[in-house]
Amino acid sequence: MDLRGRPKCCSLHLGILPLIVVALVFFGYGFVSHRSQELGDSEAVTRVAVGELDVQEVVALSRIVYTQPKALTPSRKDVLVLTPWLAPIIWEGTFNIDILNEQFRLQNTTVGLTVFAIKKYVVFLKLFLETAEQQFMVGHKVIYYVFTDRPADVPQVPLGAGRKLVVLTVRNYTRWQDVSMHRMEMISRLSEQRFLHEVDYLVCADVDMKFSDHVGVEILSALFGTLHPGFYSRSREAFTYERRPKSQAYIPRDEGDFYYAGGFFGGSVVEVYRLTKACHQAMMEDKANGIEAVWHDESYLNKYLLYHKPTKVLSPEYVWDQQLLGWPSIMKKLRYVAVPKNHQAIRN
């Protein structure tokens, strides 16, 4: 203790205190100054962003008159219209095409439609394109991508404004199964090289079909699949999934949401690229192991969509075979239907 009875340590603390205060003031000033600079930078970024927004094109909005939706009145009572993961299932009566057309018009959407016309299947191309011009994405920009080994046989079909046809020459294969499975490889490769720069959405369709009713922007979503017309009312145990565990397309009997048709699927270019690339890689792995999935590319498509849930599901209105299945009352529209044919004769 010192002469006044105060501990020496206390005197030492009193001597250091002014230095601590000075240090806190110095560092506090630096922090405030740095923070002010950060805020200033943030404000500058905000000013740039607002400035950019100011020069954006102002799009004229159209007035649309339509019946008010009723929260307590379901659009359809006879079918499932929403999946357990909250993806809409598209049936006639569940959407207003005028509202949707306006939304996609504001986005200036371009849709790509891929179709494979290999060997004798080129004979279906004329009807496919003619009916697409009448029913597919009417009023929107469309690019038809025709994959074929017979470019000279591609028909000259008059196209509407904002629509064009691109012929992509590809090789054929001896077996029709190989033709079918290599679609995934070619779509994935062209998605990366070309489609990504030319269109917003891709729709992948079979050529031996025709558009018999409206097929429009109601189908567009990040990723969509279509309920197979032969299985939409059946239990998962009856689905013709690949059941061999050694295959990359294998799905156990206690799994599965729906059975999707291989003849009509799509989505954004990025999502279609991911789907087709994954399916092709799975096929190549199976091929290396001497395995071929029971329903070829459709089997791999179903495996992918089981574990990468589609953001929209299309009803069987969008893939139907009236010759085999008739026209049940539950189908208000038949939009994309099979053309009567002799598959064996064409494949040979």
pLDDT tens digits along 166-216: 999 998 876 766 766 789 999 999 999 999 999 999 999 999 999 999 999
28 & 143 share domain: no
Q: Tell me if 175 is assigned to some domain.
A: yes
Q: What are the Cα distances from residue 64, in Å, to 174, 180, 203, 217?
A: 53, 43, 28, 17
Q: Tell me if 62 is assigned to some domain.
A: no
283 & 190 share domain: yes
**Could you list the active site residues?**
298
145 & 48 share domain: no
Q: What pLDDT was estimated at residue 127?
A: 98
SS3 label, residue 184? helix
In sequence order, the β-bridge partners of residue 226 are: 314
Q: Which two tokens stand for residue 33?
A: 């100054």
135 & 243 share domain: yes
Asked if residue 50 has pLDDT above 80, the reply is: no
111 & 243 share domain: yes
Q: Tell me if 123 is assigned to some domain.
A: yes
227 & 331 share domain: yes
Angle at 307 between CA 306 and CA 312, to 5 degrees: 60
Q: What pLDDT was estimated at residue 1?
A: 43
Q: H-helix or E-strand containing 129? A: helix 125-135
Cβ burial of 42 (10 Å; 0-12, 13-18, 19+) is exposed
- What is the rounded distance in angstroms from the CA atom of residue 254 to the CA atom of residue 216? 35
Q: What pLDDT was estimated at residue 60?
A: 66
Q: Which two tokens stand for residue 192?
A: 């990366």
Q: What pLDDT was estimated at residue 341?
A: 75
Please provide residue 74's backbone torsions phi and psi, each rounded to the nearest 5 degrees. -65, 145
Q: What pLDDT was estimated at residue 176?
A: 64
Question: Which residue segment(s) compose the domain that 115 sits in?
Answer: 89-347
109 & 30 share domain: no
Least confident of 23-27, 271-275, 283-287: 23-27
Domain CATH number, residue 142: 3.90.550.10
Q: Tell me if 220 is assigned to some domain.
A: yes
Asked if residue 81 has pLDDT above 90, the reply is: yes
285 & 172 share domain: yes
305 & 168 share domain: yes
Asked if residue 117 has pLDDT above 90, the reply is: yes
SS3 label, residue 113? strand
Q: Tell me if 77 is assigned to some domain.
A: no
- What is the rounded distance in angstroms from the CA atom of residue 117 to the CA atom of residue 147? 6
- What is the rounded distance in angstroms from the CA atom of residue 239 to the CA atom of residue 175? 25
The beta strands (E) that lie in 218-317 are given as 223-226, 264-268, 312-314
Question: Is the Cβ–Cβ distance between 248 and 300 less than 8 Å?
Answer: yes
304 & 200 share domain: yes
The whole-model pTM stands at 0.82
52 & 93 share domain: no
- For residue 71, the one-letter residue type is A
- What is the rounded distance in angstroms from the CA atom of residue 129 to the CA atom of residue 125? 6
102 & 170 share domain: yes
Domain total of the chain: 2
Q: What pLDDT was estimated at residue 175?
A: 72
Q: Tell me if 228 is assigned to some domain.
A: yes
